[in-house]
Amino acid sequence: MNKKIALSGLIAATAASMMFTPPLEAATTQSVQFQMNQLSYSNDSGKHALTTAPYELRGHSMVPLRALATSLGSNVSWNQSNQTTTLSGPSYDDIKLTVNSNIAIDADGRQIKLPERVTLVKGSVFVPVRSMAVLMKAQLKWESGTRTVTVTKPSDAANHIQRSYNFAADKQGWKGGFSDLPVDYDPDIYELEHTRNLFRLKMARSSMD
């Protein structure tokens, strides 16, 4: 009876040592909002200043690329020598854009024509926002009354399950037992085998005395 109680306690300790982190909640959305001719933009972290305001060019809204991309969780790199900027994100891999060019190049080398050229204004790269939203797999909403554009996309943090197992004796206080029991073990078989091993050990010690 005592062994059964001890074994049950050990099994409970084994279960407790399995630290389970539940799946992350459904991926949240990330968004950024620009208002034409305004020296600021808003994203999930608040309102931020711009050195150059978004503007309209032949019916296309041009917005600062870095503010757009980073607000949506993308990485941005800049190559000064060839005036090329590269966006990277799990949902679309890489997108390369070159100043004064209206061609975007995706991760597979495909060339996508943009309605306006990528421009450099006072040190900031500007791009046609609707086309960039499509390339970044984001959604765009335009409010004509306020001349405001909002771009939204799911975050790139994938749902996952994390499991870790801790069998450290110093943390759990175990002194022995079946810390690596299979999930479908038979308690009676393990208890019987444990009893037999103890009996053999006792007999061996008796023969040595």
pTM: 0.63
Per-residue pLDDT averaged across 124-142, rounded? Answer: 97
Give residue 200's pLDDT band: very low, low, confident or very high (50, 70, 90).
Answer: low
Asked: is 30-154 a CATH 3.30.457.10 domain? The reply is: yes
Among residues 198, 181, 209, the alpha carbon closest in space to that of 17 is found at 181
Distance separating alpha carbons of residues 79 and 186, to the nearest angstrom: 64
Across the chain, mean pLDDT equals 78
Phi-psi domain of 102 (left: phi exceeds 0; alpha: psi -120 through 50; beta: other): alpha
